[in-house]
Amino acid sequence: MDYIQESDFTVLEEGFTARGLIEKIINDASQTEERDAFLVGDMEEVVKKHLHFLKTLPRVKPFYAVKCNNFRPLVKLFAEMGTGFDCASKSEIELIKEIGVNPERIIYANPCKQISSIKFAANNGVQMMTFDNELELIKVSENHPKAKMVLRIATKDSKSSYCMNAKFGAPLNTCRHLLETAKNLNIEVIGVSFHVGSACSDPQLFAQSIEDAHLVFDIASEFQHKMTLLDIGGGFPGIMEAKISFEEIAAVVNSALDKYFPEGSAVDIIAEPGRYYVASAFTLAVNIIGKKIVQQDAPESHGERNDPCKSVFYYLNDGIYGTFSRLLFRRCQHKLILHKEPSPKQPLYMSSLWGPTCDPMDQIAEHLYLPELCIGDWLLYYNVGAYTVVASSTFNGFHPPHIHFAMSLQAWEDVHLLKRGFEQAENTKKN
């Protein structure tokens, strides 16, 4: 195991917080001309989320969704805490293997895989992988005959902000044929998976999907498939402002599992949380690198503090081709905080925020009423840990912001306790 080192993190002294680290970095940068955007990842937040997951969903083992945020120190932290990993590509499998994770802790959870990637998984001992159609089964039978397949079923995800089933998922009326095909191809099917969509707003979707999975388990038994795995996917909220809480979803999931897959049923339950763990753990600090004032002819006033005489364009050193990439899909819940607390008497101006590239689509926000800011001022964005830098590019030659990882001493101790507990459990299984 390539253990995490203190050098991977800034280990915070008692009483010092991740926000304090942000302030220190800003103060240091403000003494120079290099006021580059940067991220701070609060790993204490991740550790707390993990402990809460284990307590709230005690029968469910998390397989962290690497696609959500693949920074190496972060995935090493998950490896130390004993999670599994949901990988979607050859590169993600390579990353997890490189940090010393046993391939039994990896599920290749992409229902559509390139043949060379299937062979790579086979050659590296990764056996669990998903499918949702007959042609995928044929590909796997020809290139990874020892695979342990997981049938991904379609769900009703219309109440999620990011629907998955338009692309993936086998309708229930096709499952019998797929299970029979797998049997004829001599391919082992070990379980069922589903995904209710990201930012799910109705916990009952989990209950319905678990019930549907139970039905597929019954069908699989007709073809002598030994079903031992249920993968309940992701869709768990990662921020306080979510429409429903993680606890509400957990209550529904626990009830449905007790009904359809009770303890003693010899079925392992896993999930693929991503944004749940990391969305709220990362904060972005961006600097105002440019400013343009536009005089208004005959504007309307919208409140006592709002000054209608001008609007202001602010240009930042990160944008939609970087950390704000999710704005392209209007799926972004980043929370803006002004670094300098404004006076309640300052007038507010209609403002827009723009990224650093030459593309006019690189707009972060518009129609904001802000006090007048200056070139060199900082803005902070919370909740930027999920699907941000991983989806960024180097368009116009701009690179993703540097990342600082922080961890409290208490979190550091919690990780080592989790590590020892995981190792003891693994040794018990071997013996």
Residues marked active site are found at 358
Instruction: Give me the phi and psi of 30, to 5 degrees please.
Output: -70, -15
Separation CA 372–CA 309 (nearest Å): 12
Question: What distance in Å separates the CA atoms of residue 301 and residue 369, rounded to the nearest whole number?
Answer: 11
DSSP tag of 139 = H
Q: In angstroms, rounded to a whole number, what is the distance separating the alpha carbons of residues 190 and 217?
A: 9
Strands 282-295 and 38-42, bridge-based pairing? antiparallel
Q: Which of 197, 225, 199 is nearest to 209 (CA)?
A: 197
The number of C-alpha atoms within 13 Å of 198 and in the hemisphere containing its C-beta is: 16
Report residue 188: phi and psi, to 5°. -80, 125
Q: Are 193 and 231 spatial neighbours (Cβ–Cβ below 8 Å)?
A: yes
SS3 359: coil
Residue 344 phi, psi (nearest 5): -65, -10
SS (H, E, C) 168-196: CCECHHHHHHHHHHHHHCCCEEEEEECCC
Question: Would you say 152 and 130 are in contact if contact means Cβ atoms under 8 Å apart?
Answer: yes
